[in-house]
Amino acid sequence: MEDFLFYLLAFLGVLLMFISVINIWIIDTKNKKSEEKKSKTKHIKLLIVGGIVFIISRVLQGQLL
């Protein structure tokens, strides 16, 4: 049961990173087409949080370090 929770936590971290990268890509394509530039800081913060969640879940499970 404990392994399942760590795998779920790792999956959520990867999912957060994936969604953030997709959103950053969408914002980049929209910024190229329009003169009004949108900010990507919120998505970059979510990308970093997703990476931290993924790394912490792997460390706690014992697959890293």
Structural contact between residues 10 and 64, judged by C-beta atoms closer than 8 angstroms: no
Q: What whole-number distance in Å separates Cα of residue 35 and Cα of residue 30? A: 9
* pLDDT tens-digit map of 25-41: 999 999 988 888 889 99
Q: How many domains does the chain fold into?
A: 1
Which residue in the block uniquely carries the two structure tokens 């999956």?
11
Q: What whole-number distance in Å separates Cα of residue 20 and Cα of residue 55? A: 17
Residue 53: predicted pLDDT: 95
Report which residue type is found at 14: V
Q: How confident is the model at residue 63 (pLDDT cuts 50, 70, 90)?
A: confident
Residue 53 lies in domain: 1-61
Query: Whole-prediction pTM value?
Result: 0.83
Q: CB burial class (10 A; 0-12, 13-18, 19+) of residue 6?
A: middle
Residue 2: predicted pLDDT: 81
Residue 65: predicted pLDDT: 66
